[in-house]
Structure 1
Amino acid sequence: MSEDVLYAVECGVATLTLNRPERMNTISGPMLDSLAALLVQADRDPEVRCVVLTGTGRAFCAGLDLNAATSGEGIGSSGAAMSATIDLRDTPPTVLHAMDTPVICALNGSAAGYGMDLAIGCDIRLMAEEAKMAPAFVKRGIVPESGGTWLLPRLLGWAKAAEIIFTGRTLGAAECLELGLANAVVPAAELPARAAAMARDIAANAPLAVQASKRMMRMGLDERFDTHVQHVYLQLLPLFRTEDFREGMASFLEKRPAAFKGR
């Protein structure tokens, strides 16, 4: 694994940290592979009930490494495009969308281009007060290549998504909160603790139920209501047979915190 992505698990929470602060956490090829692999690892680990994605330094992620791209060596370079076949099934945005484990993005700083697509691909976003989102794709002659054209219209509606994508203007944290792109905006010093507290709240719940809820929400994006409620019912039946369901009912009746085991 690349040391440009750090990975740690504590109390049911996996924290993935983009660790290239001297380059504002721009994404290199090895970093891309490591991030995707670690997201898959976290999603498959039964001990991980929530993931926090964040960065070191003054940026969350300033996008792809354009210096490498313009030199003909990195992601997006003509040489890379000519010489490689890209399997998008194994890239972080696609992996994020397929994950059943909830993911919180703690934006310690600005997210630009690919970094913004990465952030909005997470389930929940907490932003430091100084953080920004910069969808500058059209200003660089490209499109939001990693999920933005699919995600933004669903998050914001067509008209507002069109305004943001077509103008490429930068969004401050307060505007992100107003639009619903951010769940909360907090002082930078409080961001790690706030993200950790929310992750622990999620991890304290029945993990099979949380994961099934996320899976049903994802399926519901492309289903009719009558089809969707049938799928939800079929998902509910095996949950009724779990130890966690019995523990949830018992803890409610006994007025005590539940101790869920994920089975």
Structure 2
Amino acid sequence: MTDMTYDVADHVATITLTRPERMNTISSAMLDELTRTLVRANEDRDVRVVVLTGTGRAFCAGLDLNEASSGTGIGGKDRRPPETIDLRNTPPTVLFAMDKPVICALNGSAAGYGMDLALGCDIRIMADNAKLAAAFVKRGVVPESGGTWFLPRMLGWAKAAEIIFTGRTLGAAECLAEGLVNTVVPADEVAEAARAMALEIAANAPLAVRASKRLMRMGLEETFETHVQHVYLQLLPLFASDDFGEGVKSFLEKRPAAFTGR
């Protein structure tokens, strides 16, 4: 039985966590399912933008601690530590490597793993009654799925340290003020706001959008001199694309462009 849905309309894929009775906590089976679904969206030629959201009153309340406490799930006492660690096919690394933009529609609060999952998206739209809870140290663990990488880059060392070391919960207004989310809207408008932004992005040249995301990701670790070389090399195939010709033509003809992704 699936705990998420995958729908595509108007070049926008919507991945919805559908475990509201457990506040969309992530079971070990859901990790594999989410990985497969993210890969599916990234490889779907009809998809230009992905929206990740949840059902019910939470976006994702973290990993399933009930499963862990029973000894059967993630962190269960009867599970031996792996002899080797390979995280290439797990949601955080797959999400980070995706070329297509991902919008997190925070329909409700995100805690622990759910917070890291939201931070791994490119854009976050948050319900005004939602919260982000960095509760890792309160459970005896670390931000295991990207939080220790994302937060210092988003907030600076001192503020990230404050949030992670205290395990603090942040309300929507503070998340917006700190730049952790792009916008805050009434709870009943989150889906609409996320879709509106997704459609705005999807109307642009998809090859250029994906290339821009790749270059932004590379730029996090490169010198400026190295980066501008990569930008130039990325421009060459874009100049040869049908979409570049359509972009120029539509501008001169003063009409909306009809991009095909070719």
Same fold (TM over 0.5): yes
1:200-258 Cα offsets, whole Å, 9 max, x none, are 00000000000000000000000000000000100011100000000000000000000
1:104-127 Cα offsets, whole Å, 9 max, x none, are 000001100000000000000000
**Structure 2 residue 249 is matched with structure 1 residue 247:** no
Please tell me the residue identity of whatever aligns with 1:46.
R
Question: What is residue 140 of structure 1 aligned with on the other side?
Answer: 139
Question: What is residue 12 of structure 1 aligned with on the other side?
Answer: 11
Question: What is residue 76 of structure 1 aligned with on the other side?
Answer: 75
Give the whole-Å Cα distance in 2 for the aligned partners of 1:111 and 1:94: 19
Q: How does 1:102-141 map to 2 (within 5 A)?
A: 102-141=101-140
Q: How does 1:5-44 map to 2 (within 5 A)?
A: 5-44=4-43
Question: Which structure 1 residue ranges, 5 or more long, are not aligned?
Answer: none
Please tell me the residue identity of whatever aligns with 2:18.
N
Shift of 1:152: 0.6
Question: Which structure 2 residue ranges, 5 or more long, are not aligned?
Answer: none
Alignment root-mean-square deviation, CA = 1.1
Q: How does 1:1-263 map to 2 (within 5 A)?
A: 2-82=1-81, 87-263=86-262
Give the whole-Å Cα distance in 1 for the aligned partners of 2:83 and 2:105: 32
1:129-175 Cα offsets, whole Å, 9 max, x none, are 11100000011111000000011111111111111001111000000
Give the whole-Å Cα distance in 2 for the aligned partners of 1:83 and 1:216: 34
Please tell me the residue identity of whatever aligns with 1:36.
T
Give the secondary-structure state (helix, strand or coil) at the position aligned to 2:79.
helix
TM-score normalized by structure 2?
A: 0.98
Q: Work out the number of aligned pairs and report it.
A: 262
Give the whole-Å Cα distance in 1 for the aligned partners of 2:31 and 2:157: 29
Give the whole-Å Cα distance in 2 for the aligned partners of 1:80 and 1:49: 39
Instruction: Calculate percent identity across the aligned residue pairs.
Output: 74
Give the whole-Å Cα distance in 1 for the aligned partners of 2:64 and 2:149: 23
Shift of 1:79: 2.2
Shift of 1:86: 5.2
Please tell me the residue identity of whatever aligns with 2:190.
L
Give the secondary-structure state (helix, strand or coil) at the position aligned to 1:90.
coil
Give the whole-Å Cα distance in 1 for the aligned partners of 2:117 and 2:83: 22
Please tell me the residue identity of whatever aligns with 1:214.
K
TM-score normalized by structure 1?
A: 0.98
Give the secondary-structure state (helix, strand or coil) at the position aligned to 1:209.
helix
Shift of 1:14: 0.2
Give the secondary-structure state (helix, strand or coil) at the position aligned to 1:149.
helix
Please tell me the residue identity of whatever aligns with 2:73.
G
The answer to which of 69-78 and 123-132 deviates more is 69-78
Give the whole-Å Cα distance in 1 for the aligned partners of 2:258 and 2:94: 29
Give the secondary-structure state (helix, strand or coil) at the position aligned to 1:79.
coil
Give the whole-Å Cα distance in 2 for the aligned partners of 1:68 and 1:58: 21
